[in-house]
Amino acid sequence: MLDTTKMTTIDEYLVFASLPENDGKYFELNNGEIIEMTPPTSRHVRVAGYIFAYLLGYIESNDLGIVFADNCGYLLSKRRLVIPDASFVSKGRIEEPTPNIIPLAPDLAVEVVSPSNTHLEMTNKIEDYLNYGTKMVWIVYPEEKVVDVIRKLEDGGKYIKRYTINDTILGEDVIPDLIFPVVRMFPKS
């Protein structure tokens, strides 16, 4: 049994997550606390899949780095492990074969918001991504069919721009020349 009176380390997290009774469950490590994630809905999985597929095609055809789908863990610190719904690491930042848990922040993290996500949870996750080196975060709202693109400014503040289904997101300096129509993120039905 896990001792909840102390902060959990990544090694303890890995042991806990691999227990037979945790098979098929999703966990993140947030400031030393193991958080069980609610299983995603089919809509969530489809949106994340559309995003992953589009990014994968573009990034692989341009040899820009590696794209990961959901369930790829990033160790941001000894007590913070996140699992974005899709992510990108630029070429040269990580070697093949990739480790089971990526020991750095992704260049791009994509989070598809589920009804079970709280505003505080998402705000904290965005802050952690940016503070540990993620250059761009996409927060995708399937119900509203909008995407917030968030970047950290040099003065420590944040730049947030909302894109609607009629807009196009550019990869800027994170994924050069990427043009991603927001409409392509969402199923037609």
Q: Give domain limits for the chain.
A: 40-185
Q: Are strands 108-112 and 136-141 parallel, antiparallel or unpaired?
A: parallel
Q: Render pLDDT for 18-46 as a digit per residue (tens, 0 to 9).
A: 899 999 888 888 888 998 888 888 999 99
**Which pLDDT score is estimated for 73?**
93
Spell out, as residue ranges, where the chain has pLDDT lower than 70. 1-6, 189
**Which pLDDT score is estimated for 1?**
43
The single-letter DSSP state of residue 134 is -
Assess contact for 183 and 169: CB atoms under 8 A: no
Count CB neighbours of 140 within 10 A.
Answer: 24
The single-letter DSSP state of residue 54 is H
The letter for the amino acid at 110 is V
**Which pLDDT score is estimated for 2?**
47
Assess contact for 32 and 7: CB atoms under 8 A: yes
- CATH of span 40-185: 3.90.1570.10
| Tokens of residue 49, six digits | 């899949």
Nearest to 148 by CA among 159, 161, 158: 161
- Residue 45 phi/psi, 5-degree rounding, is -65, -40
d(CA 97, CA 115): 35
